[in-house]
Amino acid sequence: MGFEIYMNTAILLIGGNLGDRTGNLEKAVQLINETAGKVVKISSLYQTAPWGAVDQPDYLNQAVEIHTTMDALTLLHTLLEIERKIGRIRQEKWGSRVIDIDLIFFNDSILSQPELKIPHPRMQLRQFVLIPLREIVPDYVHPVLHKTVQELADICPDTLPVTRYQQS
């Protein structure tokens, strides 16, 4: 009897607006690859205006696709530990942060648990999520809205600027 490992696909959005923004995102990708699952796709970096609490620096965001053997909740706890290792301190909602790792999609799962909702409940309202995702998974179908990432980006009501980041 053969032994098979079922590989889950997770789509993440990482971002941050404090400290060494590019270095923090690079460190997050490295730790995700080492502890959460194999990084198989990664988007460009995108600079985005802050959402919610707007009196703060611009964010850098990046989409990441991984293959993992973890279930969604175990993956969430692993991502929270990566945030902690990089220096994330959770204070105010939508406040500035060194790093943020959001679990956007997990296979085509629909989960609603107190600590985890998949797909991410507001991702379709935020261009800073959709534009990096569109770069790596434009045809990924939202399991609730039944639209692709590309279609969601096209109809997103968010008007905050999202621009590809060029390091100086």
Q: Of 21, 88, 126, 134, which one is the catalytic site residue?
A: 88
Buried b / exposed e across 39-51, counting CB within 10 Å, b at 16+? beebbebbbbbbb
Instruction: Encode pLDDT of 119-147 as tens digits.
Output: 999 999 999 999 999 999 999 999 999 99
Alpha-carbon separation of residue 112 from 73, 118, 125, 157 (angstroms):
11, 7, 18, 24
pLDDT of residue 168: 63
pLDDT of residue 77: 96
Mean pLDDT of the residues in the chain: 91
**Cα 154 from Cα 98, distance rounded (Å):** 30
Domains and CATH numbers, the chain: 8-122 (3.30.70.560)
* pLDDT band at 50; cut points 50, 70, 90: confident
- CA end-to-end span of the chain, whole Å? 55
- 3 state DSSP class of 83: helix
**Cα 10 from Cα 37, distance rounded (Å):** 9
Is 158 a known active-site residue? no
**Cα 6 from Cα 72, distance rounded (Å):** 13
Instruction: Encode pLDDT of 59-113 as tens digits.
Output: 999 999 999 999 999 999 999 999 999 986 666 555 678 899 999 999 999 999 9
Q: Of 21, 100, 126, 158, which one is the catalytic site residue?
A: 100
Is 90 a known active-site residue? no
pTM of the model: 0.91
User: Given a cut of 70, is residue 1 above it in pLDDT?
Assistant: no
Q: Of 97, 126, 134, 158, which one is the catalytic site residue?
A: 97
**Cα 141 from Cα 121, distance rounded (Å):** 14
Is 102 a known active-site residue? yes
Name residue, tokens 């989960």. 111
Tell which residue, 98, 101, 106, 108, has the closest CA to residue 78. Answer: 101
Q: Of 20, 58, 71, 102, which one is the catalytic site residue?
A: 102
Instruction: Encode pLDDT of 102-126 as tens digits.
Output: 999 999 999 999 999 999 999 999 9
**Cα 166 from Cα 58, distance rounded (Å):** 14
Who's near 19: CB < 8 A, 6+ residues apart? 87, 98
